[in-house]
């Protein structure tokens, strides 16, 4: 499984995060994140109105499901990174974790000159999900089915989930359209 670093911005959105992790759970790729990313996730979830118990539950669930996702020992690399200052910790952790790709909404914060030395591909969530669908379509569609089967409220179907993912809030219109074509 190829390692992929997930930036806070893609972990923050509940359905997108669940989709990314459901596909990882299917063995399509190995997710990575760092303590700094998780701390940023916790802060942003709290700002969005989740209480401490909800935030802790979400983070615990992620760490329990993917115990080898946490990248540590990257702090010394942060000052060597030349991308946008607020995202240098993300790039440093991705490099330290041996990620082959970094999934982010903030693609512009990771210019080619900053990432080329590390042989790391920076991709949007839509591009990444399209790539996983192209590589392992059966596994991805099965993961989406498992994902919606866990929900007690809407969306209860893959089609309803794809409507959410195609929206501006999740930013995966290409992936949603491609999946709809396969159903």
- Residues 83-103 pLDDT 10s: 999 999 999 999 999 999 999
CA–CA distances in Å: residue 8 to residues 5, 73, 130, 175: 10, 18, 20, 20
Taking residues 68-91, report their average pLDDT.
98
Q: What integer is the mean pLDDT of 107-134?
A: 97
| Among the listed residues 71, 60, 84, the one whose alpha carbon sits nearest the alpha carbon of residue 3 | 71
Residue 169's pLDDT band (boundaries 50, 70, 90)?
confident
Mean pLDDT of the chain: 96
Token pair in block for residue 87: 């995202």
* b (16+ CB within 10 A) / e for 94-122: bbbbebebbbbbbeebbeeebbeebebbb
Q: What is the pTM of this model?
A: 0.97
Q: pLDDT class for 152, splitting at 50, 70, 90?
A: very high
Contact predicate 179/144, CB 8 Å:
yes
Count, residues in the chain: 183
CATH class label, 3-182: alpha beta
Q: What is the mean pLDDT of residues 73-81?
A: 98
Residue range 15-34, pLDDT digits in tens: 999 999 999 999 999 999 99
């Amino acid at each position: 499984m190829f390692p992929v670093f997930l930036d806070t911005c893609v972990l923050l959105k509940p359905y997108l995060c669940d989709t990314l992790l459901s596909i990882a759970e299917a063995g399509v790729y190995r997710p990575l994140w760092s303590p700094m990313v998780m701390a940023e996730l916790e802060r942003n979830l709290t700002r969005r109105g989740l209480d401490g118990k909800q935030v802790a539950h979400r983070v615990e669930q992620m760490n329990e499901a993917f115990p080898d996702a946490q990248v540590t020992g990257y702090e010394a690399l942060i000052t060597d990174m030349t991308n946008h200052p607020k995202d240098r910790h993300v790039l440093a952790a991705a490099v330290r974790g041996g990620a082959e790709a970094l999934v982010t909404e903030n693609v512009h914060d990771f210019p080619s000159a900053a990432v080329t030395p590390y042989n790391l591909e920076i991709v949007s969530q839509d591009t990444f999900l399209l790539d996983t669908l192209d590589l392992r379509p059966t596994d991805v569609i099965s993961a989406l089915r498992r994902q919606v089967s866990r929900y007690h409220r809407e969306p209860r179907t893959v089609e309803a989930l794809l409507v959410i993912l195609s929206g501006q809030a999740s930013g995966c219109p290409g992936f949603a359209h491609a999946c709809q074509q396969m159903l």
